[in-house]
Amino acid sequence: MPVTNSIRRLMRGRFRSPKPVPVRTRCAVGRRIEQLEDRLAPAATPLIPLQASDTILVATPNTGQGNTRIAMKPDGSEFVAVWQDVAGGGAGGGSDLGIFAQRFDANWKPAGGVIQVNTTTADTQDAPAVGMDASGNFVVAWQSFSKPGSFFVPSVFAQRFDSAGNKLGGEFHVPSAAVGTNNERNPAVGVNASGEFVIAWNNGGATTGNVFAREYNSITSGTVVSGASDVQISTYAGPGGSGADEIDPSVAVNTNGGFVVAWESFGQDTGAQTGFGIYFRQFGAGGTSPGSETQANVTTAGDQLAPSVAVDGSGNIVITWYSQNVDAANFGVVQRRFDSTGAATTTETLVNPPTNNNQQFPRISMNAAGAYVIAWDGQDPSGTGQNVYAQRYDSSGTAVGSEIVINSGPGGGQSLSNATPAIDSAGDFVVGYEGGTSPRTPTTARSPPPRPCSSRRPPRRATRTPGRCPSG
């Protein structure tokens, strides 16, 4: 079944008129952009109803597409979408995954053609992450299984691009260790407006793993500023010294080049092998002046999974994740806010409305003023399919309006996943996602199925919600 990767735009008004402007639709092929416009005049007006025609396809639908990610300039004038696709086939007879990107201009039209990000095409390249600076330069990171004989030992690579989509230098191995030696997985990218960027990942085998990062002074130069060695982010040795299991990092870079990384840590919040908790740590520019590891989650029963972190222009932090036992008997999306020192300013709060259906895999995007949006995947009310949802917040953390169903059309029977938002300085935002139009489990959106799943934690951690492997 072909997979459709989609992007929907949500616009806040400029306080000029309570009248909605017409929804603009641009047609392409395959993937799609969907627009939603919300006018916030002095008195907020209702959302304009979404139409199925608010859709732009940006690449040919394909069974191998997945792991959609987007990044946007702070002023909202352009953004880039990246994804994995079997069209990048190499030694595997056309069945191997590659990484692709499509830029969009100020008129929300595709700018240029689809870009193949990876240069190496042997074997699988998957799990992309992307960040963009204020000039439109962007950087993409992914995990590669390209070293001969090392299919189960991936390495993290990256490629820089200028604002016109031209490659800056070649693809490069991010960690300082030799390619194919450290089981480098789940890359995450954070970029600030000046172009300083951080790539985080986790090293990990069957029983051990820690989170690491490297910082670069700009996308245009690509010079490492965090030193010759990788910055070790997590330090926990595992329950009773049984071995670290710290994975799935998310990273955000503040205006002065400092950064914050959040991740999952097995057993650290309870001191026993009973589930994952969420931790984060702050660093100064170049990985200097590290803060202490801080527990984000309050709930410790069951698993707390898939953190996503964002930081505003003052250094305030918001982390979202999905949690067991906070929303009826299933998984729900929660968030927690912290000030620039890392001190909690709220307890964890539920993002999605209470429901008996699983809500999971949230991601957050925040602008410099502190307004933010959280998007996530969730079972639809019928329980027969999967929707993509979003919730907006102002800089105080107060919800703006109610939960938004991002995908057009009825949710029943659809299988939608990998919601990922990007917000600009005016509060306009886009949400990318992927899915088909017939019932199926999300794992069928991965091709070949064992490869993306092999990048996740070992099978012994059976408490993660069933159905699919989340993306890094």
What is the DSSP track for 268-291? Answer: TTTSSSS-EEEEEEEE-GGG-S--
What is the pLDDT, as a whole number, of residue 111?
94
4-58+146-157+168-442 has which fold? Tachylectin-2; Chain A (2.115.10)
For the stretch 376-405, pLDDT in tens is 999 888 777 888 999 999 999 999 999 998
**Burial class for 178, CB neighbours closer than 10 Å (0-12, 13-18, 19+):** exposed
Helix (H, G, I), strand (E, B), or coil: what is residue 377? Answer: strand
Work out the number of other CB atoms within 10 angstroms of the CB of residue 442.
22
pTM for the structure as a whole = 0.84
Domain parsing of the chain, residue ranges: 4-58+146-157+168-442
What is the pLDDT, as a whole number, of residue 290?
92
* Mean pLDDT of the residues in the chain: 79
* Residue type, position 174, single letter: V
**Burial class for 459, CB neighbours closer than 10 Å (0-12, 13-18, 19+):** exposed
Asked if residue 344 has pLDDT above 80, the reply is yes
For the stretch 113-163, pLDDT in tens is 999 999 988 888 999 999 999 999 999 999 998 765 555 789 999 999 999
> Positive or negative CA dihedral for 165, 191, 348, 463?
positive
For the stretch 29-50, pLDDT in tens is 233 444 443 323 223 333 333 4
Q: Per DSSP, what are the bridge partners of residue 36?
A: 10
Peptide bond into 458 cis (omega under 30): no
Q: Specify the residue for token string 């709930």.
A: 299
Across 293-320, b (16+ Cβ under 10 Å) vs e yields: bbebbbbbeebbbbbbbbbbbebbbbbb
Helix (H, G, I), strand (E, B), or coil: what is residue 350? Answer: strand
Residue 401, CB-side half-sphere exposure with 13 Å CA sphere: 21
Asked if residue 471 has pLDDT above 50, the reply is no
Distance CA 455, CA 472 (A): 9
